Every structure is written in C-alpha cells, then in structure tokens.
Amino acid sequence: MLIAICDDAFMQLLAIKKNIEDCFLKQSIIPTIKAYTDPEQLLEESKALKFDALFLDIDMPIKGFDVADEIASRNPHVFVIYVTNYRSLAKISIRHYAFRFIEKNNIDDFEEAVTSLCETFRKINTRVSTESGDSISLSQIIYISAGARYANIHTEHGVFRSPLSLSENEEKYKDDGIVRISRSKLVNLYFVDAISKDCVILSNKEELKVSRSLRSKILGQFYEYYKKRTDNCK
C-alpha cells in the first residue's frame, strides 16, 4: 500500500506519520509512506506515483481540498483522509473525496481510519469468480441480475456471467453492501446515488426498478450505509 502524507508544519508531519505507522502496525501491515511538507511536490510526484491513500492537512499554501481534487482527477480510486483541527470543515470535505475526517491529536480517529482503510482494501482485493474462470474485484460490481440459469455481474467494463445463482450471490455478499432490490436484481449500494418512488438511480444515471415490497427495506439499508459514511466525516 502506497501512502502520502502532506502537512506544511514539519513537526506535525512527523507526529502524523508516527501515528499512521503505529496504527498500520496493529493491522500487521507495513505500508510505503511518503511524507511531504510541500503540497506542490506531492502534486508533481503524484503524476507518476499512484497513491492508494492520502492523509492531508487542509490549511496549507495549496488547500488540502484542492490537492485532493487534482490527484483524484487522475486517480479516482484514491482514498482521502483529511487530518486537521478544523472540525467545522468536515461537511465540506465530503465534496472533496473524503473517506475520513480526523483530528490531528485524536489517536482513536487515526486507529478507526486506518482500520477502516485496511478493511476497504480487503474488499477491493476480494475477487469474484466468473463462469469463464476469470475474476473481478468485488468493488467493481455495480449490480447483479438474474439470468436463465446463473446470474450476470454488471460492471463498468462489461457484463460477466457468475457461476452462482442470484440468491447465492446475495447470501455470499450480504455483508459487503450488495442488497436485493427486486426478484431479479441485487445492487451495490456504493453505486447508488438516489432512490425514487419505484427505482434506484445509479451513479452512471442508469435506473433499476425496485420491488414495491422491498422499497422500505432498501431505503433503510441505503440510509444506514450513507449514514455510516457521513458519520465518519464529522
């Protein structure tokens, strides 16, 4: 795992780096960490390096939000953790790719952020088998639809046939944010932007019909999923 830390105050940078290293050690992971006091240097090196996660101060000569926006424009899968004492900026950070928003001197915040980051990487690295013998990342699944015999896995890169039935996929990935919305479809809540009266609206603007009998349950699952995400940015 390749991590970048950026804080223009050198002593703060060292303290943040030590906290992060200690938290990863508890997860039995030793990441590669590159530390920067100059956000311009981070931006320049990020053109060649694909960072997995960024720990960014916000109040720098180039605002942390701007640093995150530029890097995420080239590397949309980067995880951004803001490390600051300005708690009032938490809600704004959600607009700038925030995975977490933590206080500089709160070790509990660091531990929760690193633990969650490691768990998310576990899910990303979880491979889902296809009927052809290939595999795709669990995080790439947008939704799964029922086929004549097996299920079809829909991703940004195409549709793949699953060796499992829809019900088997539902049971296997029920703890990974993949939920049933109708008799013939499961959806990955990560890709849901909104839920209307009779459908879910995906981030790619595709709309999938929702069973009337399942709508209340789906709304509750959607609410809990995003409440957890936003709570972690307060």
CA atoms within 13 A on the CB side of 225: 20
Task: Quote the CA–CA distance of 82 and 55 in Å, as a whole number.
Answer: 6
Name the residue type at position 2: L
Q: Which of 101-115, 160-174, 214-228 has the lowest mean pLDDT?
A: 214-228
pLDDT at residue 232 tops 70: no
Do the domains spanning 2-124 and 128-231 agree at the CATH topology level?
Answer: no
pLDDT, greater one: 4 or 27: 4
CA angle 9, 107, 69 (to 5 degrees): 55
pLDDT of 139 above 90: no
Class of domain 128-231: mainly beta
Q: Residue 209's pLDDT is what?
A: 95
Pairing of strands 135-137, 143-146: unpaired
pLDDT in the model for residue 228: 66
* Residue 229 pLDDT exceeds 70: no
Cβ distance 189 to 225 under 8 Å? yes
* Residue boundaries of the structural domains of the chain: 2-124, 128-231
Give the pLDDT score at 234: 56
Distance CA 108, CA 179 (A): 31
DSSP alpha helix (H) spans, the chain: 10-26, 39-45, 64-74, 90-93, 107-125, 166-172, 215-231
- The one-letter amino acid code at 165 reads S
Q: How many CA atoms lie within 13 A of 65 on its CB side?
A: 10
pLDDT at 48 over 70: yes
Name every residue whose Cβ is closer than 8 Å to that of residue 102 and which is 6 or more positions away in sequence: 81, 82, 83, 109, 110, 112, 113
CATH 3.40.50.150 fits 2-124, yes or no: no
Q: Which residue has better confidence, 62 or 120?
A: 62
Confidence of residue 152 (pLDDT cuts 50, 70, 90): very high
CA nearest neighbour of 19 among 83, 87, 85: 83
Residue range 164-175, pLDDT digits in tens: 999 999 999 988
Least confident of 15-24, 43-52, 88-97, 143-152: 88-97
